[in-house]
Amino acid sequence: MTDGEFTMAVNIDLVGKSAIVTGGGRGIGRETALLLAQAGACLTIADLDETSAKSVADEIQSKGGRAIAFKTDVTSAESTQAMARAALDAHGRIDILVNNAAVWTTKLFKDMTPQDYERDIRVTLFGTLNSSRAVLDAMTAQKYGRIVNLISDAGRIGEPYLSVYSAAKGGVAAFTKAFAKEVGRFNITVNGVAPGICNTPGAQGFIEGAGGAEKLAKAYPLRRLAEPIDIANVILFLASDMSAYMTGQIFSASGGYTTIG
Ligand SMILES: NC(=O)c1ccc[n+]([C@@H]2O[C@H](COP(=O)([O-])OP(=O)(O)OC[C@H]3O[C@@H](n4cnc5c(N)ncnc54)[C@H](O)[C@@H]3O)[C@@H](O)[C@H]2O)c1
Tell me if 64 is assigned to some domain. Answer: yes
Distance of CA 224 to the CA centre of its chain: 21
pLDDT in tens, 1-15: 456 666 668 889 999
pLDDT in tens, 69-100: 999 999 999 999 999 999 999 999 999 999 99
How far is 55 from 36, CA to CA, in rounded Å? 16
Tell me if 11 is assigned to some domain. Answer: no
The helix-helix angle for 50-62 and 27-38 (nearest 10°) equals: 30
Q: Point out the residues that are catalytic.
A: 165
Tell me if 115 is assigned to some domain. Answer: yes
Residue 48 has pLDDT above 90, yes or no: yes
Pocket of ligand 1 (CB under 6 A): 22-23, 25-29, 47-49, 52, 72-75, 100-103, 123, 127, 150, 152, 195, 197-198, 200-203
**CATH number of the domain within which 95 lies:** 3.40.50.720
How far is 261 from 252, CA to CA, in rounded Å? 10
Tell me if 179 is assigned to some domain. Answer: yes
- Provide the domain limits for residue 160: 18-252
What spacing in Å lies between the alpha carbon of 109 and ligand 1's midpoint?
Answer: 21
pLDDT in tens, 133-164: 999 999 999 999 999 999 999 999 999 999 99
From atom 24 of ligand 1, which residue's Cα is the shortest distance away?
23
From atom 31 of ligand 1, which residue's Cα is the shortest distance away?
73
Total tally of structural domains belonging to the chain: 1
Q: What is the pLDDT of residue 80?
A: 99
Tell me if 129 is assigned to some domain. Answer: yes
DSSP result, 210-247: TT-HHHHHTTSTTSSPBPHHHHHHHHHHHHSGGGTT--
Tell me if 8 is assigned to some domain. Answer: no
Tell me if 235 is assigned to some domain. Answer: yes
pTM of the model as a whole: 0.97
Distance of CA 134 to the CA centre of its chain: 16
Tell me if 260 is assigned to some domain. Answer: no
pLDDT tier at 256, thresholds 50, 70, 90: very high
What spacing in Å lies between the alpha carbon of 102 and ligand 1's midpoint?
Answer: 4
What spacing in Å lies between the alpha carbon of 48 and ligand 1's midpoint?
Answer: 11
Mean pLDDT confidence for 94-123: 97
